[in-house]
Amino acid sequence: MKKISYFFIILFFLGCHKNKACEGEGTAFKNGEPWYARSLTTPDKPFSDDFFAVNLRTFDNLGDVKEKLRFFKIPYKTGTYYLNSTNSLVNDSLFGSNFTTFLEGDQLTGAWGIPEESDSSNYVHITFYDECTREVEGMFNCTLVGGTIDGTGPDTIRFTDGRFEGKISQE
């Protein structure tokens, strides 16, 4: 009986809790350099019944978010979704992405988005989705345009050969 109790305690701590998001990993080449991030997959509010979002985040030495690459309005099914210039709060049929940089986790220092004239090279491809466990895996490539607030950063950021995995929270 003790063995069964320990099993359920371990399962509890390893699983995703109802109101906590589960983290996974993401990798890509960012402007040709290896890039590693933690993924956070969540229902995409306000459209959480139909879509989820993938947030790939890097952190500074203090644990504050330094960068975030976000894919939004992604359907809960496998497939290739071409990215467009859209807003995550607009109820349209377009899938989108943006990249933001931060100082100390909360001061926005730069923002990039999918260009207006996006093509099929900007996509997220969901390669695996399990509706019971809510596990998801995917690949992506995207070119984003924008810049830093102080004008010192690049005006274009390219993510190539990207991959991510995670478990969608049940918020």
Note the maximum CA span of the chain. 63
User: Average pLDDT for residues 3-27, to the nearest whole number?
Assistant: 52
How many other β-carbons are positioned within 10 Å of the β-carbon of residue 17? 11
For residue 77, give its domain range.
19-167
49, two tokens: 């019944």
Predicted confidence at residue 71, as pLDDT, reads 95
Predicted confidence at residue 3, as pLDDT, reads 43
Please name the helix (run of DSSP H) or strand (run of DSSP E) that holds residue 127, with its range, or none.
Answer: strand 123-129
143, amino acid identity: T
Question: What pLDDT, in 10s, does the model give residues 38-93?
Answer: 999 888 877 767 899 999 999 999 999 999 999 999 999 999 999 999 877 777 88
Q: How far apart are CA 119 and CA 115, in angstroms?
A: 9
Q: How far apart are CA 158 and CA 135, in angstroms?
A: 26
Three-state SS across 12-26? HHHCCCCCCCCEEEE
How many structural domains does the chain have?
A: 1
Question: What pLDDT, in 10s, does the model give residues 88-120?
Answer: 777 788 899 999 999 988 889 999 999 988 889
- Note whether residue 94 is domain-resident: yes
- Note whether residue 9 is domain-resident: no
Does residue 46 come out as left (phi exceeding 0), alpha (psi in the -120 to 50 range) or beta? Answer: alpha
- Note whether residue 75 is domain-resident: yes
Please give the span between the terminal C-alpha atoms of the chain, in angstroms, as a whole number: 33
73, amino acid identity: K
61, two tokens: 């030495």
Q: Percent of the chain having pLDDT more than 90? A: 62
- Note whether residue 8 is domain-resident: no
